[in-house]
Amino acid sequence: MTDEIRVRIAPSPSGNLHIGTARTALFNYLYAKKTGGKFILRIEDTDAERTKQEYIDNIFDSLKALGLNWDEGPDVGGNYGPYTQSERFDIYPKYAKMLLDNGYAYECWCTNEELEREKEEAVKNHKAYVYSRKCLNITPELREQYIKEGRKPSIRFKVDHRELTFNDMVKGELKFDTSLIGDFVIMKSNGTPTYNFAVVIDDMLMKISHIIRGEDHISNTPKQILIYEALGAKVPEFGHLGMILAPDRSKLSKRHGATAVSDFVKEGYLTDALINFVALLGWSPSDGHEIKTVDEIAQDFRINEISSSNSIFEYDKLNWMNGQYIKKMDIKKLTDMIIPFLSDYDLSELSREKLEKMVEITREPLTTLKEIKDDVPYFFGESVPLDEVKELLTTELSINVLNRFNELAQKWNFEDEEEIHNDLADLRTEFKEKFGYKPKETMWAIRAAVTGRTRGADMAGILVIIGKDKTLKRTNEALHIKAGV
């Protein structure tokens, strides 16, 4: 019987969920989906100073919004909890003691000052720093003396010097010379575990079978493997994903744009588009079709086909993809999502039906939901500013067109979009035949009068939404504008 596949995402809540962590979560999730395994969420909050409840909430909310639901985790529980490290502090000392008793670890009584001096010495000699092992074999008397001095020991793992090899699921065979690692601390002198120790104990006890994470953790992996071996535990499989870089190939950071999932959402990115986009950072669909749901991606997902190199986060491509999702999204859902971006407007001016229609006819050019704000001011208020179109409106052509348009608008009931649409088409033909006006010039005049702009959504649609009163009022105002005033 093969063991169950169990993967995890283990974010540290020292910030909002980063898009890179979202990608790592996704690849773990996909691997679990593809193999019928379990996806586990563990909160790594051993660093109390940097941990904030709001970040924990943000991690939960962001993962859920992306559809990356976990089978076991702090809120849903599971057989291997608790799933929050700060609730597991009583577990780690037991395993540290086991390593001490078996000679795999030792107490280190060095003070920070002493360690700093060692480090400075190494820098001076142009050597990479490794701990001197000063405390490896201290006498019982010296130990007594340290205790009397009030020193508290940390616990260091004793690193055997050898070549350590493992087969990375993404990067293939990786080799390390452990003599370069140095005996590292597993329990701090304040009794809390270090990341490398807590992560191994938790992954071991939670029966994690595959650890898929960013390659920034690659240097931690040999340390972790050594701990598994010392504990006589089965070493999980490891897979390290290439990093996500900004278009300028530097580390993706806030100066490039949003980096937290919740910031992307605030900017008006849809979580479906975001998750689809991050899947493509390292993975490519076998059929070449990039727009896919997470379920579709899971079917096509093979971990060994993940690119081992870094991926570039192309904001332009994300914008394009987000636009694709906006275009095909259910209009009711899209309207709900767009409403928060329209707080500058009095939405009570429009019925829900008209609001949905407004979204329908303005969504085409959008790449983010936020952009809609600048595209819709003319749907609100009685009048529109005409400054930008004043010259256009004071031509003989415009005055002719608007007079005729005014007559038509008087008779329309503004419920029948088709009638408006057809009448506008007839009006264009009529003016072309009579005066040689280009159809687009005719429409510019009407659009300028009604919206104050020369470009925008479908004209008949706009008229139906703003209705008769506003149309007549705005047309009148346009007809009374004086050239040059």
Contact between 13 and ligand GLU by CB under 6 A: the answer reads no
Contact 262, 62 (CB under 8 A): yes
Query: What are the structure tokens assigned to 26, written together?
Result: 């996704």
Shortest gap between Cβ of 88 and ligand GLU (angstroms)? 14
Q: Any contact of residue 10 with ligand GLU (CB under 6 A)?
A: yes
Site membership for ligand GLU, residue 256 (CB under 6 A): no
Are the CB atoms for 7 and 40 separated by under 8 Å? yes
Locate 388 and state its tokens: 């930008």
Q: Which of residues 43-62 bind ligand GLU (CB under 6 A)?
A: 44
418: exposed, middle or buried (Cβ count in 10 Å: 0-12, 13-18, 19+): exposed
Alpha carbon 432 to chain centroid distance? 52
Contact between 35 and 76 (Cβ < 8 Å): no
Pick 45 or 423: Cβ nearer ligand GLU: 45
Position 12 contacts ligand GLU (CB under 6 A):
yes
Stretch binding ligand GLU (CB under 6 A), from 4-12, 86-94, 98-106, 439-447: 4-12
Nearer to ligand GLU, 224 or 311 (CB): 224
Q: Which 3 state secondary structure label does DSSP give 375?
A: helix
The minimum distance between CB 83 and ligand GLU, in angstroms, equals: 13
**3-class secondary structure, 361:** helix
Stretch that binds ligand GLU, among 8-16, 101-109, 166-174, 305-313 (CB under 6 A): 8-16
Q: What distance in Å separates the CA atoms of residue 243 and residue 92, rounded to the nearest whole number?
A: 30
Active-site hit among 254, 328, 411, 482 = 254
- Which helix (H) or strand (E) segment is 321 a member of? helix 315-328
Is there binding between residue 270 and ligand GLU (CB under 6 A)? no
Whether 434 is a known active-site residue: answer no
Binding mask 205-244 for ligand GLU (x = CB under 6 A): --------x---x---------------------------
Which C-beta is closer to ligand GLU: that of 27 or that of 437? 27
Distance CA 436, CA 438 (A): 6
Alpha-carbon span 172 to 157, nearest angstrom: 27
Minimum distance from CB of 212 to ligand GLU (Å)? 8
Distance of closest approach, residue 182 Cβ to ligand GLU, in angstroms: 20
Structural contact between residues 362 and 372, judged by C-beta atoms closer than 8 angstroms: yes
- Catalytic positions: 254
Q: Which residues bind ligand GLU (CB under 6 A)?
A: 10-12, 44, 199, 213, 217
